[in-house]
Amino acid sequence: MSLPAQVTAFWSKRDQAFLDNIDKDYADEFTLTFVGPHTPPFMTPDKMTMTKDKLPMAMGNLMQAFPDLEFKAVEEIKEVEPGKFQALTAVSGTHTGGAFSPAPHLEAIPATGKAVTIGPETFTVYMKDGKVTAVTVECLHAGKPVGPPGFYTEIGGVMKPPPAA
């Protein structure tokens, strides 16, 4: 089976081309959410959902700090239903770029040189009309680092709640 180019690009090393193609490859209603019983409470869909307008900034931030950032399928990517692609996925990168913080209220950690691997987690990419409409990330193990906050804690950052509004 031949995978759509957008699916192949999702499970790859992140580069400028990935950022440049978000506008054409991702639907305006795109969302990325962390799901499942092991999702940290501050990352559940009711508290944190990434939208298309925030995706370039969030991915760019990670890519700048982890220049070799890669989303790698550790098993074959499968189309589990029409337009729904899934694979056990590890996300890795080495903190050799700039300082990193996943949120403005957290201290940015200068480059540590530390190699970080998050996962594996189950990533599901949903497509409709040739565009990625959603991504879900199912955290498979309680207490394991996940997402950008996981990269942050793995390089020595300490997660703190945002200041009261």
Q: Pairing relation of β-strands 78-81 and 70-73?
A: unpaired
Rounded mean pLDDT, 107-115: 96
Rounded mean pLDDT, 125-144: 93
What was the pLDDT predicted at 44?
65
Q: Considering the domain boundaries, does residue 164 fall inside one?
A: no
Gap between the Cα atoms of 17 and 140, Å rounded? 30
Q: Considering the domain boundaries, does residue 165 fall inside one?
A: no
Q: Considering the domain boundaries, does residue 70 fall inside one?
A: yes
On average, the pLDDT of the chain sits at: 90
**What CATH number should be reported for the domain holding residue 144?**
3.10.450.50
Q: Domain total for the chain?
A: 1
Question: What are the start-end ranges of the H helices in the chain?
Answer: 5-10, 16-25, 55-65, 147-154
Contact 49, 58 (CB under 8 A): no
Q: Write the pLDDT tens digit of every residue in 114-127.
A: 999 998 999 999 99
Q: Considering the domain boundaries, does residue 112 fall inside one?
A: yes
What was the pLDDT predicted at 137?
93
Rounded mean pLDDT, 29-39: 90
Residue 27 lies in domain: 5-154
Q: Write the pLDDT tens digit of every residue in 57-69.
A: 988 999 999 999 9
Q: Considering the domain boundaries, does residue 115 fall inside one?
A: yes
The phi and psi torsions of 68 (rounded to 5 degrees) equal -100, 25
**Whether pLDDT at 149 is above 70:** yes
What was the pLDDT predicted at 73?
94
**C-alpha distances in angstroms, 110 versus 24, 66, 145, 158?**
33, 11, 19, 14
